[in-house]
Amino acid sequence: MLLLSFGLMIAIILTALSQRWNVNFIVGALACAICIACAGPLFSHLYERLLYKTQYRDGITFANLVENRSGVIAVDQSGTVFGGGVYDGHFNIDPVNDSNGIFRAYAVAGLHPLPKKILVIGLSSGSWAQVVANSPGVEDVTIVEINPGYLPLIRERAGVATLLQNPKVHIVIDDGRRWLVGHPDQRFDFILMNTTFNWRSNASNLLSRDFLRLLRGHLASGGIAYYNATWSKDVLETGISQFPYALRIAGFLVVSNSPFALDKDRWKAALLQYRIDGHRMYVLPRDGESLNNTLHLADEMDLPGAAIGLPNGMLESRTHILERCRGSLIITDDNMGTEWR
């Protein structure tokens, strides 16, 4: 509309100077005016229409829309984030009213006894990073995010805005894999990646055997890597092929070179200490039931999926994963895993 308006204005000025008002000019000017008038009805809510497709209705409007060279970020009115047209998280840090599976981020405190130095690859809504940065004992958090468009969105949300001013947090705009290659001497107690769906374009960059070998070299002694397998057998099989110790929590895979466990007592103590922006995440006795439901996860090792209404149960041992996923594809940089399926 801006280019068309400028073009029409220049045409009017030149025609006025030349004093050549003819039919061709009038027809062209009318055509431009019609195009400008129709631009709104034709192109308004374009991304909403692309995302919701047949479910789109008049009045559905994104709360935020960011377009840059890294892609398109959209946030709906409920705070759900879509990156490139696919679900990419939700603005929420409340484990009691858990709308985004944030209990998986709080599980970090039960997996590692004292994770002082943490690497987070992928920022999105900042909700997971906010939880991890406020985990008891954490001293330093490096966050690598390829799309700077998330930063202004985080700045607008009260629950996560303070992440950007936290002195323990260092945000780097870069590709995660490239950053790891460029910082070979960096070691972390915990590496968290809330990666996107395994079938998306370029997902193998963070799921392949080659990447996991790179990741393994950045773990400190006793270090743990924790990333989203999105329930893919191929991703799970690839992960356990590269690490001697593993555990699945919901759709996430936890791997390490050293033994570890989801320690229920340590997790409970940490959750009761948890404060974000001065507010307790669990207040007893009010949130006692919610706390117990979360902690019960530690007792659900290798339960059948049907028992809790989720595929393969919520907690699965390495032995069980190995048996269940036997024969699945080992993802490499060459075969690109499920991107070709």
Q: Within a 10 A sphere around the Cβ of 194, how many other Cβ atoms?
A: 23
The amino acid at residue 150 is Y
User: Phi, psi (5° rounding) for residue 194?
Assistant: -90, 70
User: Phi, psi (5° rounding) for residue 16?
Assistant: -65, -40
3-state secondary structure of 331: coil
The whole-model pTM stands at 0.89
Are the C-beta atoms of residues 84 and 111 closer than 8 Å to each other?
no
Domains of the chain: 2-44 (no CATH), 47-90 (no CATH), 104-340 (3.40.50.150)
Are the C-beta atoms of residues 117 and 140 closer than 8 Å to each other?
yes
Burial (CB count <10 Å: 0-12, 13-18, 19+), residue 287 = middle
Start-to-end Cα distance in the chain: 40
Q: How far apart are CA 133 and CA 273, in angstroms?
A: 14
Tokens for 230, please give them: 């999105």
- What distance lies between CA 197 and its chain's CA centroid? 10
Give Rg (Cα) of the chain: 25
3-state secondary structure of 118: strand
**CA distances to 72, 135, 150, 202, 326 from 50, in Å:** 12, 38, 21, 21, 38
What does the pLDDT read at residue 75?
97
Q: Within a 10 A sphere around the Cβ of 53, how many other Cβ atoms?
A: 8
Q: Within a 10 A sphere around the Cβ of 324, how many other Cβ atoms?
A: 15
The tens-digit pLDDT sequence of the chain (341 residues) is: 889 899 999 989 999 999 888 888 889 999 998 998 888 888 889 999 999 999 999 889 999 999 999 999 999 999 999 999 999 999 999 999 999 999 999 999 999 999 999 999 999 999 999 999 999 999 999 999 999 999 999 999 999 999 999 999 999 999 999 999 999 999 999 999 998 999 999 999 999 999 999 999 999 999 999 999 999 999 999 999 999 999 999 999 999 999 999 999 999 999 999 999 999 999 999 999 999 999 999 998 888 765 555 556 799 999 999 999 999 999 999 999 988 77
Tokens for 336, please give them: 């690109």
Q: How far apart are CA 340 and CA 75, in angstroms?
A: 29
**Rounded to 10 degrees, what is the CA torsion of 233, 236, 242, 245?**
-140
List the one residue out of 106, 136, 138 whose CA is nearest residue 119.
138
Are the C-beta atoms of residues 267 and 109 closer than 8 Å to each other?
yes
What does the pLDDT read at residue 313?
77
What does the pLDDT read at residue 194?
94
What does the pLDDT read at residue 324?
92
β-pairing, 71-75 vs 64-68, is antiparallel
What does the pLDDT read at residue 310?
57
Tokens for 66, please give them: 């960011």
Nearest-5° Cα angle at 305, 199 to 104: 60
